[in-house]
Amino acid sequence: MKLSIIGTGYVGLTTGTCFAEVGHEVTCVDNNEEKVRTLLDGKIPIYEPGLAELVKKNVAAGRLKFTTSTPEGVQDGEVIFIAVPTPPQPDGSVDLSYIEKVAREIAEALTPDLGYRVIVDKSTVPVKTGHKVAETVRRYAEPGVDFGVVSNPEFLREGCAVQDLLEPDRIVFGANDERAVTLMNRIYEPFVAPVLVTDMESAELIKHAANSFLALKISYINAVARICEQSGADIEKVAEGIGMDHRIGRSFLNAGLGYGGSCFPKDIKAFIAISESLGYPFELLKQVEEVNETQRELFLGKIRDKLWVLQDKKIALWGLTFKQNTDDVRESVAMKLAGQMLEEGAEVVAWDPQGIGTARKFGNLSGKITYADDMYSCLDGAEALVIGTEWPEFANADLAEVAKRLRTPLVFDGRNLLDPHTASAKGLEYYSVGRPAVGVTDSAAAAV
Ligand code: UGA
């Protein structure tokens, strides 16, 4: 089928590429000329495992092309996906101006001779946005234009987006028009996954409700971790024990510094805002946010407790990205932690397998953080190591080398990556989240 994607950000580029990979002919549109030039040169503007190869392959096969022209996209695509940003506004509600602008541009490019076209909302939007899109297109398109509107939320995770798109857990779309459903079913025919077809509003809600539920699991386990710290229990064992109940499941029960990224913080705020505007103050989700925000502060408290003052202390930070396997530092908890430590006068030397370039470019701490050349030299002479992101290379680190390189062998693990007993056996004084500290040397007590 001939498809177009308007917006070549994370979702647009990966979705368009995977549609091409299963055999559709895809036109990707972006108004950023530099980005389109980069893509036409065969380079991709983001780090996403496996994506560059697929872009190259499908461009070469003639199934994937890039343009800055929305009218070209509207001409080409029988189904036109909108995948533009939906950033948060200061009050937490979603800025829908990009969606509205694209809906107008599509409307202006539609003509009756094109026949029936489907406009699909892929961006994460509040419930009822689809209706607004339909209204806008109707208002700006010439009479006689025939179209349907669909909500088709995306559930990909950064870092494994290609796999999530090619082998999704489920495909959800919502439409109030049978012709649109038929076309959507044809698009997703090559994918082996259960398909749930709903009305438009339910599909829109599913996305916000799913992300909020995952965030709720994270804040729940982080709240339980606080009780573990007060009682001497071990959050890893507790998570294992409750996760063995198949109704709960073990995933998204990793205690730590809390969630970040371009999706959860924004989507939870947006869901609270839309619920409020629909007459339901979603107090439960406000608590989810509250736990997430204070989680970082509690962790910082442990560092302060031990180092006493941070002023002029060299602190090694492993991890800058909001999670592993991405170069994305948007709303990264590790970056926020770095910012706070810098504010308190510490010298932060950081290492990240993929995030240094993006942190330099977008992290707004440029010139303040020092970036190390590699994972171990990052530690040289530092008073402590802080782990901010769950990269597997940190979990597999050579702990004897860590102990040797640090000035004082203090480790604050914000992602519970290390095994406490191994850490203490290698001579580290080790603090994590929701687990007893090990290898603690209390010099005050020793002096008494
Ligand atoms: C998330 C959802 O998982 C996707 O299903 C959704 O499609 C996507 O948002 C989106 O809305 O586009 P993503 O933002 O890539 O995907 O990241 P996650 O893997 O969900 O992780 C989010 C954050 O939660 C990270 O900061 C991670 O460190 C944290 N996290 C995750 C925990 O603190 N504990 C956990 O157990 C799991």
Rounded percentage of the chain residues whose pLDDT exceeds 90: 95
- What is the distance in A from the centroid of ligand 1 to the CA of 395? 19
Fold matches, 2-198 and 217-288: no
pTM of the complete model: 0.94
Residue 445 pLDDT more than 60?
A: no
**Position in ligand 1 atom list of the atom nearest CA 207:** 11
Q: Is the torsion defined by CA of 163, 164, 168, 171 positive or negative? A: negative
What is the 3-class SS of 162-179, one letter each residue? Answer: HHHHHCCCCEEEEECCHH
The preferred substitution site among 154, 211, 242, 326 for testing ligand 1, maximizing ligand atoms within 8 Å of CB, is 211
The preferred substitution site among 157, 322, 332, 354 for testing ligand 1, maximizing ligand atoms within 8 Å of CB, is 157
- Domain 2-198 in CATH 3.40.50.720? The answer is yes
**What is the reported pLDDT for 47?**
87
Tens-place pLDDT, residues 341-353:
999 999 999 999 9
**What is the reported pLDDT for 186?**
97
Task: Tell me if residue 134 falls in helix, strand or coil.
Answer: helix
Full strand arrangement of the beta sheet holding 25-29: 64-67, 25-29, 2-6, 79-82, 117-121, 147-151, 171-175, 195-198
Ligand 1 proximal residues by C-beta, below 6 Å = 124, 154-158, 211, 214, 218, 252-254, 256, 258-261, 263-264, 267, 322-323, 390
DSSP string, 194-254: -EEEE-HHHHHHHHHHHHHHHHHHHHHHHHHHHHHHHHT--HHHHHHHHHTSTTT-STT--
Tens-place pLDDT, residues 6-38:
999 999 999 999 999 999 999 999 999 999 999
**What is the reported pLDDT for 135?**
97
- State the Cα–Cα distance between residues 414 and 337, nearest whole angstrom: 10
Tens-place pLDDT, residues 273-319:
999 999 999 999 999 999 999 999 999 999 999 999 999 999 999 99
Q: Which of 388, 291, 387, 385 is nearest to 331 (CA)?
A: 388
- Length of the chain in residues, anyone? 448
Tens-place pLDDT, residues 356-408:
999 998 877 767 999 999 999 999 999 999 999 999 999 999 999 999 999 99
| CA–centroid distance for 289 within its chain | 16
Mean pLDDT of the 66-83 span: 97
Q: Is 263 a catalytic residue?
A: yes
Residue written as tokens 């038929």? 182
Residue written as tokens 């689809």? 130
- What is the distance in A from the centroid of ligand 1 to the CA of 318? 19
> Are the CB atoms for 389 and 400 separated by under 8 Å?
no
Residue written as tokens 């929305």? 70
> Are the CB atoms for 41 and 79 separated by under 8 Å?
no
Q: Whose CA is nearest to atom 5 of ligand 1?
A: 155
Q: Counting Cβ atoms within 10 Å, is residue 413 exposed (0-12), middle (13-18) or buried (19+)?
A: buried
> Where in 169-258 does DSSP place strands (E)?
171-175, 195-198
- What is the distance in A from the centroid of ligand 1 to the CA of 220? 15
Structure tokens at 362: 């977008």
**What is the reported pLDDT for 446?**
37
Task: Tell me if residue 219 falls in helix, strand or coil.
Answer: helix
Rounded percentage of the chain residues whose pLDDT exceeds 70: 98
Tens-place pLDDT, residues 315-325:
999 999 999 99
**What is the reported pLDDT for 443?**
53
List CB contacts of 377: < 8 A, sequence separation 6 or more: 405
Residue 119 pLDDT more than 80?
A: yes
**What is the reported pLDDT for 303?**
97
Domain ranges (residues) in the chain: 2-198, 217-288, 294-446
The preferred substitution site among 236, 263, 318 for testing ligand 1, maximizing ligand atoms within 8 Å of CB, is 263
Task: Tell me if residue 387 falls in helix, strand or coil.
Answer: strand
Structure tokens at 399: 């702990």
List CB contacts of 222: < 8 A, sequence separation 6 or more: 255, 256, 258, 291, 292, 295, 433, 434
- State the Cα–Cα distance between residues 83 and 98, nearest whole angstrom: 10
Level-2 CATH architecture, domain 294-446: 3-Layer(aba) Sandwich (3.40)
Level-2 CATH architecture, domain 217-288: Orthogonal Bundle (1.10)
